[in-house]
Chains A and B, each alone.
Chain A
Amino acid sequence: NAGVMQNPRHLVRRRGQEARLRCSPMKGHSHVYWYRQLPEEGLKFMVYLQKENIIDESGMPKERFSAEFPKEGPSILRIQQVVRGDSAAYFCASSPTNRGSVGYTFGSGTRLTVV
């Protein structure tokens, strides 16, 4: 049981490039959540997905950000045309159900630096 796997651990992108962050949930978990932690700030919810569906994207910026969780493969958080303000740690979490946060597990995060 490898836990929630995020890659890459560190990602450096130049302004204007695209960033792709991957999250493989724990085995048996079909619910995935993405959170962002800006420097010196707390964690903020971005998006909640189940397989092939976006359930809640109320925390996603309206432009340049998108997320998917395909039937096969990891969940992907995609940031187009990155800007310096996108530099942050992005954490993924997964759970087996949507009730009571049972079995909620976090990944180690991807630290994005935009230069």
Chain B
Amino acid sequence: KNEVEQSPQNLTAQEGEFITINCSYSVGISALHWLQQHPGGGIVSLFMLSSGKKKHGRLIATINIQEKHSSLHITASHPRDSAVYICAVGGGTASKLTFGTGTRLQVTL
């Protein structure tokens, strides 16, 4: 079993839909990251959180430390949101990250 599990693996949505991507982890962490990667592109850090909830524009990230679960929500989705969304966790003093396998999102018109 992977230390970081994401679901779903693939997601297709129509423009305007509300999207949720889930991440569960099995190790102790100091922080959880949500990252975005476009095909052939670099990695953009969307959020880093260790508790509660963060919001940036149409993106919302939540984390429940007790349940070892995080969600990334996209409101009013748009085709430009199409990308791979990756959950990653970092723990202890090393700060190296362990990644989920990613959720491939495609938003259609």
Q: CB within 8 Å of B: which residues of A? A: 31, 33, 35, 41-45, 48, 55-56, 59, 91, 93, 95, 97-102, 104-109, 111
**Chain B nearest CB: distance from A13 CB in Å?**
19
- A87 shortest CB reach to chain B, Å: 14
A4's nearest neighbour on chain B, judged by CB, is B42
Given A104-B90, A105-B45, A106-B35, A33:B99 Cβ within 8 A? no
The 8 Å CB contact of A99, one of B48, B86, B93, B96, is: B93
Does B30 reach chain A (CB closer than 8 Å)? yes
* Chain B residues positioned under 8 Å from A31 (CB to CB): 95
A55 with B94: CB separation less than 8 A: yes
Nearest CB of chain A from residue B2's CB, rounded to whole Å:
9
Name B93's contact: one of A45, A98, A109, A111 (CB within 8 Å). Answer: A98
Besides A42-B102, A100-B50, 8 other A-B contacts (C-beta < 8 A)? A33-B96, A35-B97, A45-B98, A59-B96, A100-B30, A100-B95, A106-B35, A107-B42
Of B35, B88, B96, which is within 8 A of A48 by CB? B96
Taking the closest CB of chain B, its distance from the CB of A7, in whole angstroms, is 13
Residue among A97, A104, A109 making CB contact with B45, cutoff 8 Å: A104
User: Do A108 and B42 contact each other (CB < 8 Å), given the known contacts A42-B102, A48-B96, A56-B96?
Assistant: yes
Q: Is the CB of A99 within 8 A of B30?
A: yes
Beta-carbon contacts under 8 Å, B35-65 to A = 35, 40-45, 48, 50
